[in-house]
Amino acid sequence: MISVKMNELVKNSSAIRAMFEEGKKMAAKYGKENVYDFSLGNPSIVPPATVKQAIFDILNEESEMFVHGYMSNAGYEDVRKTVADYLNKTHGTNFDEGNIVMTVGAAGGLNIALKAVTNPGEEIIVIAPYFGEYDNYISNVDGVRVVISPDIERFSINFEELEQKISPKTRALIVNSPNNPTGVVYGEEDIKRLAAVLEAKQKEYGTTIFLIADEPYRELVFGGAKVPYLTKYYKNTFVGYSFSKSLSLPGERIGYLTIPSEMEDFENVVGAVSVANRIMGFVNAPSLMQRVIGRVIGQTSDVSVYEENKNILYKALTEYGYSCVEPQGTFYMFPKSIIPDDKEFCETAKQYHLVLVAGSTFGCPGHFRIAYCVDKQTVLNSLDAFKKLAEHYKK
């Protein structure tokens, strides 16, 4: 009785969620401390104490009608101004409140950006490996997904293939850096090259190609890695941001979209994004959480925990014979599976109580994802299991 499209989706549901459910079952069977569940990208560290304080202060200082009330579909003007000012200070940009639309997480932001610009049948490019939900977001607007195959040497962008696959029907390209699942950060050179390719193709076809940057991991970077702010390199860029990871607030669904004034047809695009926020049923980002952001912008949870976990895992796994591009951010890494069949590899991993997600889930077979947003002790305890898993295939 459900729709045909949904029937398939329900059957397959989320492979990541499925592994997570599997992990819970294993924990029940073997004891939680004996299962190393690296399946879900769920922050493992508490929000900064200032979040709680901000909520108390807001409820004590501001009117309830204002704090819980309707505002413009784009969000509270003062909060948007605060976000703009923060971005300007951090990235040397020149935004004001008109460039910011508060959204229901980055997922909400990406959906309304796609809704605003996509006509049915237009092509949306994704770069493998990529977060599988993009497929659904593209399908929501009847777009056609085009996948760029992975550059498995360094998990940057396969530029030759990108140039070949951009067509007159290309409407947008989704990029995600710091990247889920690889942990790679696109450096400035890559971004400049990307911008040049897009500019050239726009000119060649006389079209507008939007770059949609999905950036929930922007602050989760290691060794001082720099994440270029993409609107500075390419004017037709939407930046989708979420506070889910940086402030450990994934359940609250709070984020924003940045839309630079230089974007073609800027006024209409901003109008369309606001209307999309309304008509897709979001209406506006949750109001109290918007006001919280207005007070804690620029702060983060203690994300150094993730770097520590990465260091432990990367060192150990490479010693055990795993091959892996070293992550520069996020809380993911994406090593090669010891055998080409990544699904079988993840099945075998379960024998050693390791819950991992197969690379195929991200459009990149032969690899697997470790979500190391877990406590350090779990990482340390898991090392022997990773060692045995590698040895399993050397027998």
Check residue 116 for interaction with its own copies (CB under 8 A): yes
Pairing relation of β-strands 170-175 and 357-358? unpaired
Q: Which is nearer to its own copies, 135 or 151 (CB)?
A: 135
| Interface with its own copies in residues 40-79 (CB under 8 A) | 40, 42-43, 46-47, 51-52, 55-56, 59, 64-65, 67-71
Residues 6 or more apart in contact with residue 52 via CB below 8 angstroms: none
> Which 3 state secondary structure label does DSSP give 170?
strand
Q: How far apart are CA 248 and CA 330, in angstroms?
A: 13
Query: What is the DSSP-derived secondary structure letter of residue 128?
Result: S
Q: Chain centroid to CA 213: how far?
A: 9
With CB under 8 A as the contact rule, the residue among 160, 264, 302, 344 that binds its own copies is 264
How far apart are CB 323 and its own copies at their closest, in Å?
31
Considering the complex, what minimum distance in angstroms separates the CB of residue 386 from its own copies?
Answer: 25
The residue behind tokens 């304080």 is: 53
Say which residues have a Cβ less than 8 Å from residue 256's Cβ, sequence separation at least 6: 75, 80, 83, 100, 101, 102, 103, 109, 241, 285, 293
Contact string 140-169 vs its own copies (x = CB under 8 A): xxx---------------------------
Residues 280-299 that bind its own copies (CB under 8 A): 280-290
Binder among 131, 137, 217, 241 for its own copies (CB under 8 A): 137
Pick from 46, 13, 169, 174: nearest CA to 109: 174
Q: According to the binding rule CB under 8 A, does residue 38 interact with its own copies? A: no
- Kindly state the smallest distance separating residue 5's Cβ from its own copies, in Å: 8
CB of 250 to its own copies, least distance (A): 5
Compute the C-alpha angle 166/263/184, nearest 5°: 55
Site for its own copies in 181-220 (CB under 8 A): 208
Token pair listed for 260: 């630079």
Binding mask 313-352 for its own copies (x = CB under 8 A): ----------------------------------------
